Structure 1
Amino acid sequence: MTKFLSREATQDYFLLTLLSYHHGIIGKQVFLERLSVLSSLGDRAGGATIFANEILQGHDWLNDYTELTDDWLAQEESELSDSHGERSVEESSKDDPDGFVAHLIIAVGGISWDFHPFDDDWFPSVPHGHKRPGKSTEKLDPYLGWIYDKSKQSGRLKRKAIISLWSNDRFRETASRAIDYYLHEHPHYRGWRVSNPRRLPRRK
């Protein structure tokens, strides 16, 4: 009788696979083979299994390991300048040459934030950023610009910085993944800012 992984084990396996590929520990072939195992043994209703299946369905992994679906790879890096020519949004994510993102580290308003597309935490928003370095407890709401230290508002970024953030292609990709993941993993969540959470704020 086939036994399936628990939801927690499925997510841990998925994130470990992503990070291993992301940091060059495994190549594309092993990456896709591990996703195939997860597709067979992972929690059927879990977001990690659903995302693994989406990657595999967009790629004929049995016959060709050379390319991954465009939804997950080959994203151009994008850095935007404010009106004075100074960069208000800077990326410093650790991406592989193909552009696959396990998480995104990006500077907004002079502060570095880490965005995880597979974060199960909803506060203060989906998605949200974690202040770098990792020991900080501050989080960023990228919709309204508020910074929270635990549950208290501790500051707010300028509107220009938030507009630049949402105009960044790599951030929009990461935000879309975070929203899709949360919709799959937490279908009963009702804290969305808009009726259609997949509708991202407009670019400037």
Structure 2
Amino acid sequence: MLTSIIAIVLSYLIGSISFSILFARWLRKIDIRQHGSGNAGATNTLRVLGVGPAICVFLLDAVKGIVAVLLGLWLGDDQSWIPVLCGLLAIAGHNWPIYFRFKGGKGIATTVGVLATLAFFPTLIAGITAIIIITLTRYVSLGSLIFAVLLPILVFCFGFDSARFWGALMIAVLAIVRHRKNIVKLIQGTENKLGRSKKGEPHGA
């Protein structure tokens, strides 16, 4: 049990490493949360710092989720819910990082890492669908939401265990909550599209 608690705590601490904030500090000496959409994630990194840093941020944020799940598998005493909980805590750390005054991103890239490790094929299908939606509409937030909502459905259809299904469902709910302002803007037709820069617009992962 002690090793499981260690894995859960470490997962949150790993998730709290905000690469978007760190890259912005290293490259531009700025707090990315005060620029672009104000979100500490890959999409705002693209807007503020460019393609290269954005790709690095996305991949590193995804790796946080992968590492967290692997920690749960390694230290979780063969309990199926421990890797899932570790993944959830990594996403929570990204969204509310202890190192950065609990103001982080929306957790989509970390979610990709978590769910790709827990349920690869559902994540692949949901990811391809999200990419198609983003390509057609240029709404990163819409693609992110569709990705999150599809996952528990696909996890259920693929017959994964209940821990993974409930974990995917909780992640979907969390994504919806984190994107609630984007949802309002999508309904109103005022959401910012990829490739356009409007300061203050919540947008994307």
Q: Same fold (TM over 0.5)?
A: no
Larger radius of gyration: 1
Higher strand share: 1
Higher relative contact order (CA 8 A, sep 6+): 2
TM-score (norm 1): 0.34
As a proportion of its length, which structure holds more helix?
Answer: 2
